Amino acid sequence: MQNHSKTAPKTAPSKVYIKRLQDWSNDQKISETILSAWQYLEPMADFIGRDDFTAIKLTFGEEGSDGYIKPAWLADFLKSLKQKTENLFIVETNTLYREKRSNAVGHLHVAASHGYSIDKLGIPVIIADGLRGRDGQNIPIRGDHFENVKIARGICESDNAIFLSHVTGHMQTGFAGALKNLGMGCASRQGKLLQHAGTLPEIIIEKCIGCGACMIVCPANAICIKKKKAMLVKERCIGCGECTVACRTGAVEIKYDENSVKFQEKMVEYALGVKKALNSKTAYINFLEHVTKNCDCMSKNETPITPDIGIICGLDPVAVDKASMDIAGMDKFKEMFPGIDPLAQIRHAEKIKLGVSQYELVEI
């Protein structure tokens, strides 16, 4: 047993399973690997009943991105699950920022173009927060930041869920895995906005050349150009961070230190709400393949920052993410985003009893 924490454990470590896979060029081999990881986890995840609505939560990737979980990899895993429940489906929620995936129509088009459709998978794809991302349900959590969280209704009405998370870095959290898939990925649009609020960017006038790129990408019309300089209308800003990506001169800055910690804390309070809504009938499978600096919401292909590692899974999202961070190499994520501490999400998740960061790693 490995003890990965500096402090004495207050609770027993969670079991985390790793199935190593370095060559991701053969879809059939990948599919068999994912199935064998699931078969290890399945006896512990014995909550799926014949009539249950079982959600497989993942992200389809943005148009132009290649860093998402490929449907062909899931063939054997889905076949196995279909034998347990007739009501299996893939689920996702709309994005906060204005792109094709910000409404269910555009979202399903992107999903289908990446192979996520009923004709290819044999199971339906559902957008859990409705046509425009407004269909949310309040879940009481009594956290430090939120009394209630607003979770997509289609998630709340599911009986159980398996979260498939492609591990990446992230400009606001440093690391994105199961906790982000749970917290941000299952919130309604309002829920996403409430997590982002307070993480507002700043425009450094001296660096701004007035090109207008930030204004074009802003989904909230929160930027205007005056006297050849960008100006931020703070009361309109939803803190989506799009302008920071669009700006090529580094004139848009987010004060990551403070805001990132708060953002991560809010995100894991949402994650707690999702777990509560599903009565803890959840399992987590992290994909450590093509781990890039930015998440799959970016419309571009990126070079990986780590070698491909394999599948990490378990029933505790905190332990699964902490193991993923450790095994991929915490330094890699910190190098990509200096000033952001990805452990903030782990610390708060542990504090609010979403899970434990100590884990026993089992090679399978």
Q: Which residues bind ligand SF4 (CB under 6 A)?
A: 201, 203, 208-214, 217-218, 220, 222-223, 230, 232, 237-243, 246-247, 249, 251-252
End-to-end CA distance of the chain: 15
When the beta carbons of 41 and 217 are compared against ligand SF4, the nearer one is 217
Q: What secondary structure letter does DSSP report for 70? A: P
Q: How far is the CB of 337 from ligand SF4 (least distance, A)?
A: 16
Question: At closest approach, how far in Å is the CB of 180 from ligand SF4?
Answer: 18
Angle formed at CA 252 by CA 215 and CA 338, multiple of 5 degrees: 145
Closest separation between CB of residue 213 and ligand SF4, Å?
Answer: 4
| Shortest separation between residue 225's beta carbon and ligand SF4, angstroms | 6
Compare residues 243 and 319 and give the one whose CB is closer to ligand SF4: 243
- To which H or E segment does residue 266 belong? helix 256-277
Q: How far apart are the C-alpha atoms of 31 and 278, rounded to whole Å? A: 27
Smallest gap from Cβ 243 to ligand SF4, in A, equals 3
- Nearest to ligand SF4 of 223, 277 (CB atom): 223
| 139-143 long-range Cβ contacts below 8 angstroms, 24+ apart | 139/273, 139/274, 139/276, 139/277, 141/269, 141/272, 141/273, 141/276, 141/352, 143/269, 143/272, 143/352
Residue closer to ligand SF4, measured from CB, 99 or 242: 242
Q: Which is nearer to ligand SF4, 46 or 206 (CB)?
A: 206
Measured CA to CA, the distance from residue 190 to residue 145 in angstroms comes to 15
Nearer to ligand SF4, 297 or 315 (CB): 297
DSSP letter string over 317-358? Answer: HHHHHHHHHHHH-HHHHHHHSTT--THHHHHHHHHTTS--S-
Kindly state the smallest distance separating residue 267's Cβ from ligand SF4, in Å.
16
The kind and range of the H/E element at 261 are: helix 256-277
Q: What's the token pair of residue 210?
A: 């007035």
